[in-house]
Amino acid sequence: MRVTLVGILQSVAVVTVLFSLVTALPLNDSMLQLFTHFRLQYFVVSVLLLLVLAAFRQHTYAIALLVAVVVNASFILPWYVGKGPGQGATTMRVVQANILSTNTEYEKVFGMVESEQPDLIVFQEVSPHWLMALAALKSEYPHSYAEAREGNFGIAVFSRLPLLSVSHIDSPPYAYPTIIAKLRVGGELVNLVATHPTIPVSPPFFEARNLHLDSVQEILANLDGRTILLGDLNTAMWDVNYRAFERQAGLRNARKGFGIVPTWPTFMPFAMIPIDHVLVSTDIGVQDVHAGARMGSDHLPLVVTLSL
């Protein structure tokens, strides 16, 4: 059997169309939802294959790819439109930064902080050695709270604004910490929740991540007023569990209107997906969203400027 370029492109097209359509089904299966994270890649590949196979006059494949493009676009394009209005004159810049527990490039993290000049930072994967290193930030960020853990699920908040109250709970099922704080921004009280559920790479971990998200949603339901959630949620926006979480929490993703902004994994740029998130209540405006510079981690920091 002779292998041809067109034959290879046809095979890739079949796989792309199959993944594009199957992952659009509203089925809450762990493996299926894992593949929903790569919606941006399906969109880009389906567009490129459509152009190439149309040029080769492979009409059947081109039509199938056109369907895939439309399906993928229905998930992708809405994130580039519909910015919410600004809510006030007071701005607050926040950073969600998974710094990677095994990372030792401390100066890159400090450089990112110096470059972005956030008012508040949530660090994920804060190990005891990272907590000692982060003490260097306390002159600029005198208000902090940390629950350092060995492994990948420690967490810390560093803030220029006073934390009026702050504590953490051990979220089920693995007792990973979720920080709950209250601060005042321009005269307004704001709730802050920071969390990091497990990676959904197997059915048990998938269920554990969802249980963690459910527990955070219960926390959010008991908060009154303006609310900001920062976290490496280990899910992209297209997982049905993420969509249910956002809907039930009554929050919106700060990315809305600013694009996909992928943050992980930096070691495979072509496969990067948006799993770091800042979610806000509807009474908080969003002025800017972007990914910060590399900091030695497998994540990019997510930098969001809010208005109240």
Q: What is the pLDDT of residues 269-291, one digit of tens each?
A: 999 999 999 999 999 999 999 99
Please tell me the predicted confidence (pLDDT) of residue 242. Answer: 98
**Cβ–Cβ contacts within 10 Å for residue 214, how many?**
16
Q: Is 99 helix (H, G, I), strand (E, B) or coil?
A: coil
Give, in order, the Cα–Cα distances in Å from 299 to each of 55, 62, 200, 245. 38, 35, 17, 22
Give, in order, the Cα–Cα distances in Å from 31 to each of 15, 34, 78, 140. 16, 5, 25, 43
Beta bridge partners of 165: 182
For the chain, residues with pLDDT lower than 50 are none
pLDDT digits (tens, 9 = 90+) for 176-228: 999 999 999 988 899 999 999 999 999 999 999 999 999 999 999 999 999 99
How far is residue 223's CA from residue 191's CA, in Å, rounded to a whole number?
A: 7
Please tell me the predicted confidence (pLDDT) of residue 87. Answer: 66
- Please state which of the four CATH numbers 3.30.450.20, 3.60.10.10, 3.90.850.10, 3.50.50.60 is assigned to the domain occupying 91-307: 3.60.10.10
Q: Peptide bond preceding 197: is omega within 30 degrees of 0, i.e. cis?
A: no
- Supply the DSSP string of 232-265, one letter for each residue: E-S--TTSHHHHHHHHHHT-EETTTTT-----B-
Please tell me the predicted confidence (pLDDT) of residue 197. Answer: 98
pTM: 0.95
Question: Which sequence spans correspond to the domains of the chain?
Answer: 5-80, 91-307
Single out the residue of 242, 304, 308 nearest to residue 273, CA to CA.
242
Please tell me the predicted confidence (pLDDT) of residue 83. Answer: 82
